[in-house]
Structure formats: C-alpha cells, structure tokens
C-alpha cells in the first residue's frame, strides 16, 4: 500500500517548477566517470593478493585459500581453531556439494558439538535461539570484493541472515572465481543475477570483517553486537 503519494509528489513537482511528474524516465548523462584504476582490470587470480592484504588491514579477519577437495578439512580446522563447541550453518546445496555432512552428521556430533542447520520448518524463534547459542556461524558468499575485504551474502530459504550475525565467529566460504575488484563490479553482477525477476532478495549484505565500533574514545573494538572474528575460506579451484 502507498499512502499520501499524490499530494506529496505534487508539492515536489511544484518545487521543481513543473505541474506533474515527467512521464519519461530521467536520462542520466554523467559528465564525470571516475574509475578505480588499480584493480579493475585484474582477474580473480590476480586479485587474490589485494584481497589477502585488505583482510590483514581489517581487525580480527583471517583468510585461507584451499582446493575444494580439501574444503571440509579446512572448515573443520577453522572450527577447531575458533574453539568449536557449537556451530550454526546454512542449509545450502553448495555446502552439501563440498561434503559438509561428514562434519555435521558424524565428526562434529561424535565430538559432542551442537550443530544447528538453518531450518525453515522450525520457525523464527527456534532458529534464532539455536543460532544465538552457537559459537560459530558458517555461510556461503556469492561474491568477494578484493579492495575492501568484503563478502556478499544473499538471503534465501536456508540462508538465514542470523547465521552471519549472532555467533561469535563468522566463517564465509567463497569461490575464487567470484572474487571481484570492488563494489562497482558487484553492483552489476547483482543486477544480472536478478534480471529475470526484477526483484532482489530481501537482504543483500556486504560484510567486511567483524562487527566493530570506535564510539568509546575513538578506540576500535570488535564484537560490539555481532561476530568478534571473521574468517574467509576461498576455494581456489572453483
């Protein structure tokens, strides 16, 4: 529902010296087109050093590169490194394809860890509570951005936003082939991804490192609301 539209917009049209809204979409005739020159011509492989470097700039942000066949070993190693205990993760085919079940249905269970796979059958409260009780959250990123050390997540069935926000540690898996120079390229990719439906997912989240704040004496501290650590696992052959 749209309320009070006409009088509101009429007033704006009047302020712009016209009687009604132009029927034609405005033409964007940009006179200035700055371009980021350092990264924009590089391939995913060539972007890796910049991505790694920027992760070093961000506080509590680590990154490893691994072949897909070794991904499970690497995810397990990361979970152990960050203290294990409890894991919440997306219900995601891409994780299944990597063989996540070895961990979620046997190894982690055998080790006594609590595992919560995002479950639409459970409803919001239950999903929130289990995710909130988890030490580590694991998601799968659509893209990564080298310049800013960013991963891009889409919300969808099975892809709960809370997984990247509530646990202490945020782990993102991302394919190296989806590593982009910067947000410029991500903006056009996102547009392409939803060209058919013309409808973006309810949430597109750009995440660069852990939650942080400098509101107390400009002193940068991490983990003020969300994750205290961010860890990216880049699949080098995908």
Partner 1 sequence: MAIKYNDEAFKDNVNTNLERDFMRGAVTAAQNKLHGGRLKAVEELGDWEEWRNHGEEIRQHVLNNLDYYLNQLAENVEKAGGHVFFAQTADEATAYVQSVVKKKNATRVLKSKSMVTEEISLNEALEEIGCSVLETDLGEYILQLDDHDKPSHIVAPSVHKNRFQIKEVFVAKLGYPEDGSADAKDLARFVRTILREDYMKAEVGITGCNFAIADSGSISLVTNEGNAGLVTTIPETHIAVMGMERLVPSMEELEVLVNMLTRSAVGQKLTSYVNIITGPKRSEDVDGPEDFHLVILDNGRSDILAGEFKSVLQCIRCAACVNVCPVYRHIGGHSYNSIYSGPIGAVLTPLLAGYDDFKELPYASSLCGACTDACPVKIPLHQLLLKHRQVIVEKEGRAPVSEGLMMKGFSVGASSSTLFNVGTKIAATVMKPLSKDNMISKGVGPLKDWTDIRDFPIVEREKLRDWFDKREKKGGKSNDSK
- Rounded to a whole number of angstroms, the minimum distance from the CB of residue 152 to partner 1 is 9
Report the nearest approach of partner 1 to the CB of residue 229 (Å): 12
Residue 131 dihedral angles phi and psi, to the nearest 5°: -70, -40
CA 10, CA 72: separation in Å to the nearest integer? 59
Residue 44 or 159 with smaller CB distance to partner 1: 159
Burial class (CB in 10 A: 0-12, 13-18, 19+), 238: middle
- Beta carbon nearer to partner 1, 38 or 73: 38
**Of the two residues 112 and 199, which places its CB atom closer to partner 1 in the complex?**
199
Least Å distance, CB 77 to partner 1, is 25
Q: Min. distance of Cβ 230 from partner 1 in angstroms? A: 9
CA 134 to CA 122: how far, in whole Å? 16
User: Smallest distance from the beta carbon of 34 to partner 1, in angstroms?
Assistant: 4
CB nearer partner 1, residue 111 or residue 126:
126
Please state the length of the chain.
238
User: Nearer to partner 1 by C-beta: 81 or 124?
Assistant: 124
CA distance 144 to 142: 7
Helix (H, G, I), strand (E, B) or coil at 107: helix
CA distance 130 to 126: 6
Which helix or strand (DSSP H or E) is residue 88 part of?
A: strand 86-89
């Amino acid at each position: 529902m749209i309320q009070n539209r006409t009088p509101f917009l009429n007033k704006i049209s009047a302020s712009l010296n016209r009687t009604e809204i132009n029927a034609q979409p405005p033409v964007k005739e940009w006179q200035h087109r700055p371009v980021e020159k350092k990264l924009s011509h590089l391939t995913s492989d060539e972007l890796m050093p910049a991505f790694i470097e920027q992760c070093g700039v961000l506080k509590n942000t680590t990154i490893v590169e691994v072949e897909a066949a070794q991904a499970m070993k690497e995810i397990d190693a990361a979970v152990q490194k960050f203290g294990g205990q409890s894991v919440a993760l997306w219900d995601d085919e891409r994780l299944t394809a990597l063989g996540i079940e070895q961990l979620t249905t046997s190894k982690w269970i055998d080790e006594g860890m609590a595992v919560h796979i995002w479950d639409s059958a459970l409803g919001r409260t239950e999903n929130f509570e289990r995710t909130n009780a988890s030490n580590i959250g694991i998601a799968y990123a659509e893209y990564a951005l080298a310049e800013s050390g960013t991963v891009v997540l889409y919300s969808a069935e099975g892809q709960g936003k809370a997984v990247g926000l509530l646990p202490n540690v945020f782990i993102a898996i991302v394919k190296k082939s989806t590593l982009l120079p910067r947000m410029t390229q991500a903006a056009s990719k996102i547009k392409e991804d939803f060209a058919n439906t013309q409808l973006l997912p309810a949430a597109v989240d750009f995440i660069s490192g852990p939650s942080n704040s400098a509101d107390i004496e400009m002193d940068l501290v991490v983990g003020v609301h969300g994750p205290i650590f961010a860890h990216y696992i880049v699949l080098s052959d995908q």
